[in-house]
Structure 1
Amino acid sequence: MRAVPGRLPINQRGWAWELKQHGVRALAVLDAGGLALLAADGAPLPRDYPGLTRLADDLGGRRMVLDGVISGGSRRSRYHAFDVLSVDGQKLVDEPYVVRRKLLTSLALTRSPVIDVAASHRNLAPAQLAQLARVHKATGIIGKRLAAPYRPGHDSPDWVELDLLRGCEAVIGGWLPAEDDADDGVRSLLLGVYDAVGRLVYIGRVATGFTNASRRALGSILGELVTERCPFGDRPPASGRERPRWVRPTLVADVDYRAIGHDGLIRQPSWRGLRTDVDPRDPAWSGSLRLQLSPHA
């Protein structure tokens, strides 16, 4: 059963929420003969996870089918169970989610050190859900209708997926011109934030979220701020064909993004507009995050 992109339901009393898990989705089939890990189509996973083979023995040889996510490498892996499809031969797919979850937590799965049961949350406001996802470094949440059965192989609106958007204000240090309008159009903006010693640190470029009109308007505004000197402490990476245009760092961009990579650059940024009420050197906002839940893209 797979979640579909969705929105927060108006009445959340009939829903529970789980954090999106990082890893490989897999069905865990346990019986006296051991453990089989299956993909969504029922085929064995193409990769072995010997670190999980102890599960069958740890759980006393009980027969069950679990749905969950595998995290970690082949030998140091862990299974995060979030649903149960059958126990000791009793099929549970027609039972409502709330019944399956209650049974799942009663199985004492954590007798094994390589498995845990993903938390299920109810009666949380959107802001609380967003903060929960941030604390646990999840990319979003999955909403599951309490009365919903489990529909193997189906994309179901009874499970809705929402991403966690992060947002920040960043200083515009330059731009790359549009290929078809080198004088006025903006293809992407080069963004940065000031560090503790006052250096403008490059955090990435934003190229989406603009309208044609906003690209032309930005090109006109930035044209008044052009300078020959790169304002970033370290010059941003660029391909041999790119010719960035630098500007005096006086404008603040408002952007959304999905995550921050290991290289310190924002991932999948999207333009929201200019912030005229923020001083680019004001440390109060530097590095801050704005959180909101958004339909999965």
Structure 2
Amino acid sequence: MDTLTHLPLTEIDPYALLRDRTALDPAALHQLQYSIATEGLRMPIEVWQLSTPRDGYTHGLISGLRRLTAARALGHQTIPAFLRTPASIPQAMAAMVTENEIRSPVSPWEKGLLIMATVEEGHFETPDAAVAALYKALPRQTRTRLRYFANVAEALDGLLSTPERLSTRQMDRIATALRSNMEDVIRATLFARRGEGLESQWSALLPLINERDEPETTPTRPGRPRRLLQLKQGLTIRREPCRNGWLLRFTGEEARKGALIDDIFDLIEDKFQRR
């Protein structure tokens, strides 16, 4: 039977595991602090004993990051904890994921990021293996969606602002676009808007995603339609749908030269209005 004990907060490593929650909501954390201060901690955290203490930590946190953070903010010296005995780190991570799903669901972005991180850290060989182990209680269709969310996190990590705020619907649409060979144009669009807010970035992605959702009206050659052209000379050309047709957006050092656009006009005129 797992043991209930009181541990010094200084001996618990909150990040001994890769965590599925990348940020704590300040309002929810404040509310939890008030609850603990007035009524005490209702549910102990879960930890396991590290085989080799490191940096002064003797135990690793499995679940209860918000409770541990709140207790530290309140100046508590110890905290009640269930001492678990997971057979492995992946098993401990699966327990963390299950606990968080019950108490406060994690965003689809954070789930995707965790899946990819566990593979990069060597806990699982493939994203599919990570999904199967961490989310084995979920239906197959839901696990498939999580695999697609992992693709989104892998492709766009570092480009989106506050991606944990993306809804499941938004993640689904981005994942579908990525599977339609739109990764290059999506990354280029976000790179041009790095540092902007999520709403602005999403607005920039919508034309691309909407283009993916609209069926082609005429057959095209393999590899078409082309949505992005990036040249070594410092020029990027991206096509975007508009109400009456298409827009070509030119960016980069070469795009600042007015002669470039004159040359393009000449080429189009020569092609469609031959003398």
The structure with the greater share of residues assigned to helix is: 2
The structure with the greater share of residues assigned to strand is: 1
Pick the TM interval, shorter chain.
under 0.3
TM-score by length of 1: 0.20
TM-score by length of 2: 0.21
